[in-house]
């Protein structure tokens, strides 16, 4: 404590020779005091940072960090933690510090950590032997949310008739919720033909489909492809079914239709 409070002092040696003469031999000692732990700037330039502040499912298995340590300092450890208490310690062999104190770490797999806020902590020991740490945070988001997709009735009665089978039919519906957004691509395959459109600003979508394809295929899936803010992909799907009736009304092949004279022999009075 005294040496920390006083960085300069004199050393005096009192001597006497054989004749009894006294003499003082003196020297002055100076030293430096550094009791500050390495930090983010108050005691040298130390830092650590995620290479990406928002990490998605594709990125989580190959994460890098960059940082800086003050002159003469060494990196003791780098640890990444999640909000649930999970942690990953970077192997010492993966930590590179160049002659200028630049710190680089690459290829870290964070897939065992839980979505949410992540914290990276770098512990540093400075040239005076003081230990401290610096941190940075990032968000881990590895899953996007599907929304709800619906398909309106294909026609007014949800039945394709003979006339409609020869027309172009507007297939319409909505796509909302989850991570569905305006401009997301809507895809459906009907009778082997792929039809695409996009989600409008009100969540509605519409695509023109050949009536002949709808007549040949009474069930199809509608898929909306979306991405969340972190870049995770998700598909929202639904299945649409409808009925086809292209037979003209007749004597029983398409329902029970009939007409009968009330009299099979009509005379002049009856006509």
- Structure confidence at residue 68 (pLDDT): 96
Of the candidates 142, 177, 153, 165, the residue with the CA atom closest to the CA atom of residue 242: 153
Is the full-model pTM beyond 0.75? no
- Structure confidence at residue 22 (pLDDT): 86
- Structure confidence at residue 12 (pLDDT): 77
The verdict on 91 and 165 lying in the same domain is no
Angle at the Cα of 94 from the Cα atoms of 92 and 97, rounded to 5 degrees: 85
Minimum mean pLDDT range among 66-75, 101-110, 198-207, 253-262 = 253-262
Is the predicted pLDDT of residue 21 greater than 90, yes or no? Answer: no
Structural domain span for residue 61: 47-140
- Structure confidence at residue 250 (pLDDT): 62
pLDDT tens column, 75-99: 999 999 999 999 999 999 999 999 9
The CATH number linked to 203 is 2.60.40.10
Q: How confident is the model at residue 39 (pLDDT cuts 50, 70, 90)?
A: low
The encoded tokens of residue 61 equal 């298995």
Inter-residue contact 198 to 204 (CB < 8 Å): no
d(CA 18, CA 23): 12
- Structure confidence at residue 207 (pLDDT): 99
Last residue of a domain, one of 88, 119, 140: 140
- Structure confidence at residue 143 (pLDDT): 96
Q: What is the mean pLDDT of residues 28-33?
A: 66
- Structure confidence at residue 9 (pLDDT): 66
Find how far residue 224's CA is from the centre of its chain. Answer: 18
- Structure confidence at residue 256 (pLDDT): 64
How large a percentage of the chain has pLDDT more than 70? Answer: 88
- Structure confidence at residue 51 (pLDDT): 92
Q: How confident is the model at residue 261 (pLDDT cuts 50, 70, 90)?
A: confident
Is the predicted pLDDT of residue 139 greater than 90, yes or no? Answer: yes
The answer as to whether 27 is a domain residue is no
- Burial grade of 269 (CB within 10 A; 0-12, 13-18, 19 or more): exposed
Of the candidates 144, 145, 125, the residue with the CA atom closest to the CA atom of residue 133: 125
Overall domain count for the chain: 2
The CATH number linked to 121 is 2.60.40.3340
């Amino acid at each position: 404590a005294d040496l920390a409070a006083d960085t300069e002092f004199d050393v005096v040696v009192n001597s006497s020779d054989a004749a009894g003469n006294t003499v003082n031999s003196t020297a002055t000692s100076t030293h430096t005091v550094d009791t500050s732990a390495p930090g983010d700037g108050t005691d040298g330039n130390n830092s650590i940072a995620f290479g990406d502040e928002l990490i998605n499912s594709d990125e989580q298995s190959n994460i890098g960090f960059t940082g800086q340590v003050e002159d003469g300092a060494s990196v003791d450890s780098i640890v990444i933690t999640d909000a649930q208490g999970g942690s990953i310690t970077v192997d010492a062999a993966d930590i590179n510090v160049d002659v200028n104190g630049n710190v680089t770490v690459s290829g870290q797999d964070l897939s065992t950590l839980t979505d949410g806020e992540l914290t990276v902590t770098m512990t540093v020991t400075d040239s005076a032997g003081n230990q401290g740490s610096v941190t940075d945070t990032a968000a881990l988001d590895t899953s996007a949310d599907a929304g709800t997709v619906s398909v309106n009735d294909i026609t007014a009665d949800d039945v394709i008739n003979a006339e409609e089978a020869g027309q172009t039919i507007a297939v319409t519906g909505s796509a909302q919720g989850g991570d569905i957004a305006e401009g997301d691509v809507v895809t459906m395959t009907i009778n082997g033909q792929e039809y695409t459109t996009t989600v409008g600003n009100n969540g509605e979508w519409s695509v023109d489909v050949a009536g002949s394809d709808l007549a040949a295929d009474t069930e199809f899936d509608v898929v909306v492809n979306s991405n969340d803010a972190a870049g995770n992909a998700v598909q929202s799907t639904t299945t649409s079914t409808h009925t086809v009736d292209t037979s003209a009304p007749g004597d029983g092949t398409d329902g029970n239709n009939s007409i009968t004279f009330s009299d099979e022999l009509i005379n002049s009075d009856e006509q």
